[in-house]
């Protein structure tokens, strides 16, 4: 919207220049009308931009759940574009693998399947069970002996030990079936993990490639804007010197305006693609400077 306001101010200055030239009989009435048309057309373009901003604010109000939100000021500018070649793609992929919730879920599934397979395999080993017991009893009667240390009392005890050996040979088919099933489940979990990692890596690499394309396009857009601006300045000077009429100048003005819009749009495209890449890696909050506090149970 700020761009369209700046273009409207430029159109109004051009209109004022044409009015001065018209007063000096250097321009004709159709030239003046063409300038007025350009101003009104730019006003309409500005109003369309304002409408898009109003719609964006309403959508933002719904997203953040603030019905009282009417307007806002964007204090921060767009992230400064940079050459994605400065990023380490391998590090981004590794970071995404560690941050991806989907990958973590699959890793937990693999751990569970491995534990189940170990438990099932352990059932194949022979089992040795040992047991022991001992007891003691005392009886009293009315008889005593001359040298009896405990007159009228008798004590007896017993102890036993036992061992058992179990060899799992009679349920071999069931155990083989269960073990094979657990191995298949583990293989499936490993394959799902591999697929998830490949999908995650493909996602990161695809977004990185899109960011590289946006950067290269932005470089071209800015170069085109630079050339269009230079041409416009030359055409304005030629127009002041009456070397060209208004039509070539209007063409140069429109081309420069289109180049400015394209450059701004491309900067936004680069920023959105960068956020998309950070989202795939799982570092949006970190790059935005948002400090997260772990939840306390």
Domains of the chain, residue spans: 1-76, 84-133+154-287
Class at the top of the CATH hierarchy for domain 84-133+154-287: mainly alpha
Where residue 146 falls among pLDDT bands split at 50, 70, 90?
Answer: very low
Q: What is the mean pLDDT of residues 249-264?
A: 93
How does the average pLDDT of the chain come out, rounded? 79
Report the range out of 42-56, 132-146, 215-229 with the highest average pLDDT. 215-229
Under the banding of pLDDT at 50, 70 and 90, the label for residue 216 is: very high
- Cβ contacts of residue 90 below 8 Å, gap of 6+? none
Tokens of 237: 């000077």
How many residues are present in the chain? 297
Mean pLDDT of the 88-116 span: 82
Element at 22 (helix H, strand E): helix 2-23
Res 272 pLDDT > 50:
yes
Phi and psi (nearest 5°) for 72?
-155, 155
Q: In 3D, which of 38, 6, 2 has the Cα closest to residue 19?
A: 38
| Coil, strand or helix at 297 | coil
Segment of 15-24, 176-185, 266-275 carrying the highest mean pLDDT:
266-275
Distances (CA, A) of 55 to 35, 77, 192: 31, 20, 42
Assign 6 to helix, strand or coil: helix
Q: What is the pLDDT of residues 179-200, one digit of tens each?
A: 777 788 878 878 887 888 888 8
CA distances from residue 62 to 119, 173, 285 in whole angstroms, order as listed: 51, 61, 21
Q: What secondary structure letter does DSSP report for 131?
A: E
**How would DSSP label each residue in 87-107?**
S-HHHHHHHHHHH-HHHHHHH
Whether 67 shows a pLDDT value over 90: the answer reads no
Whether the pLDDT of residue 206 is over 90: the answer is: yes
* pLDDT value of position 263: 95
Q: Which tops the pLDDT comparison, 212 or 54?
A: 212
CA-CA distances (angstroms) from residue 279 to 39, 94, 100, 206, 287? 42, 14, 10, 13, 10
Burial class (CB in 10 A: 0-12, 13-18, 19+), 155: exposed
Reported pTM = 0.67
**Mean pLDDT on 136-148:** 51
All residues at 6 or more sequence positions from 265 whose CB lies less than 8 Å from its CB, including other chains: none
20-56 pLDDT per residue, tens: 888 888 888 988 898 899 999 999 999 998 888 888 8
- DSSP conformation class of 144: -
**Nearest-angstrom CA–CA distance, 72 and 293:** 27
State the pLDDT at residue 180: 73
Task: Give the pLDDT mean for 267-274.
Answer: 94
At 237, the pLDDT band (50, 70, 90 cuts) reads very high
Q: Is the pLDDT score of 78 beyond 90?
A: no
Q: Which residues does residue 128 pair with via DSSP β-bridges, in sequence order?
A: 165
* Distance in angstroms (rounded) separating the CA atoms of residues 134 and 157: 7
pLDDT for the residue 297 = 43
Kindly state the percentage of the chain with pLDDT values over 90. 30
pLDDT value of residue 159? 58
């Amino acid at each position: 919207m700020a761009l369209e306001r700046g273009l409207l101010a430029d159109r109004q200055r051009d209109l004022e220049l044409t009015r001065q030239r018209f007063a000096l009989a250097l321009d004709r009435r159709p030239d003046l009308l063409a300038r007025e048309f350009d101003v009104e057309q730019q006003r309409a373009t500005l109003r369309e931009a304002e409408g898009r901003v109003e719609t964006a604010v309403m959508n933002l109000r719904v997203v953040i759940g603030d019905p009282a939100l009417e307007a806002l000021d964007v204090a921060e500018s767009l992230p400064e574009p940079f050459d994605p070649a400065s990023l380490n793609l391998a590090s981004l992929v590794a970071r995404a693998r560690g941050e991806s919730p989907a990958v973590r879920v699959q890793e937990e599934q693999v751990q569970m399947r491995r534990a189940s397979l170990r438990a099932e395999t352990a059932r194949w080993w022979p089992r040795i069970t040992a047991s022991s017991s001992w007891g003691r009893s005392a009886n009293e009667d009315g008889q005593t002996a001359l040298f009896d240390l405990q007159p009228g009392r008798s004590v007896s005890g017993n102890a036993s030990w036992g061992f058992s050996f179990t060899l799992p040979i009679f349920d071999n088919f069931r155990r083989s079936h269960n073990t094979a099933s657990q191995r298949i489940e583990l293989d499936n979990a490993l394959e799902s993990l591999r697929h998830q990692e490949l999908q995650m890596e493909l996602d990161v690499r695809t977004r990185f490639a899109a960011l590289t394309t946006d950067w290269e396009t932005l470089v071209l857009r800015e170069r085109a804007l630079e050339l269009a601006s230079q041409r416009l300045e030359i055409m304005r000077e030629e127009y002041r010197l009456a070397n060209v009429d208004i039509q070539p100048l209007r063409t140069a003005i429109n081309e420069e305006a289109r180049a400015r819009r394209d450059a701004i749009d491309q900067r936004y495209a680069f920023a959105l693609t960068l956020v998309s890449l950070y989202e795939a890696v799982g570092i949006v909050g970190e790059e935005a400077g948002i400090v997260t506090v772990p939840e306390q149970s």
